[in-house]
Amino acid sequence: MAEPEPTADAGFLRHPFTLLVCGWLLTGVLGTWFTTCWDRSEKARERRRVALDLELKQRVALFEETTTAVAETFTAAEDVLSLFEYGAGPARQKEVAERLAFWKAAGRAWRTHSKVLGAKLAATYNDPRIAIQFQEIINTRRQLGNDIANHLAELAKPPPEKLPDWVADGKRLIQQTTGPSGTLRSFVGLLRAEIKTTANQTE
């Protein structure tokens, strides 16, 4: 049986010019399209990476700023409470003056920082427990500040034989906030969890 003769269409498809045009379409037009799509995808990934890097830096900076502010104001409160515990006699006037100055400076800074930090935390972190626990820290610090302010005049008196109840309560509040199982430890854990999540996304 004789083989079928090639048609004109088949010859056209095998023509070098046809192959050249097809090659140009594949490498030129389609290649450019694929390259453009890939370039757009890479640029989108790069923009996301840059945004995540910026978010990570902001979260880390806010973490450091917040924990430092909390530590400073509660340390100042603890220092002042110890004055009521051990007395503030003439031999300790310099120490008393230094601690009270630190307390007042820390109090002024905290009144501003707590408001700013609260707004920043709400805008930077997603976990609603972060704002709740920070508000708990603010409330505890407010109670300590009020108690200390209401009893500062007592520093001029001889040290009491028994630790005043309000001082004991204040020390307990500080321990509940900054101690090993306190609010600050839980608060820091929540911040670090979100920082870790953001860091993993940048990899």
Q: 93: domain CATH number?
A: 1.20.120
Any domain includes 165: yes
DSSP string, the chain: -PPPPPPHHHHHHTSHHHHHHHHHIIIIIIHHHHHHHHHHHHHHHHHHHHHHHHHHHHHHHHHHHHHHHHHHHHHHHHHHHHHHHH---GGGHHHHHHHHHHHHHHHHHHHHHHHHHHHHHHHH---HHHHHHHHHHHHHHHHHHHHHHHHGGGGGSPPPSS--HHHHHHHHHHHHHHSTTSHHHHHHHHHHHHHHHHHHHH-
Number of domains in the chain: 1
Any domain includes 22: no
Domain that holds residue 134: 47-202
Any domain includes 21: no
What is the rounded distance in angstroms from the CA atom of residue 64 to the CA atom of residue 87? 34
Any domain includes 118: yes
Long-range contacts of 176-181 (CB under 8 A, 24+ apart): 176/140, 177/70, 177/74, 177/137, 177/140, 177/141, 178/70, 178/71, 178/74
Any domain includes 114: yes
Any domain includes 19: no
What is the rounded distance in angstroms from the CA atom of residue 116 to the CA atom of residue 132? 15
Any domain includes 15: no
| pTM score | 0.76
Give me the tens of pLDDT residue by residue for the chain, a chain 203 residues long: 455 555 545 555 565 666 666 666 667 666 676 777 777 777 767 777 777 788 999 999 999 999 999 999 999 999 999 888 777 666 678 888 899 999 999 999 999 999 999 999 999 999 999 999 999 999 999 999 999 999 988 887 877 778 889 999 999 999 999 999 999 999 999 999 999 998 888 77
Q: Are 127 and 190 in contact (CB under 8 A)?
A: yes
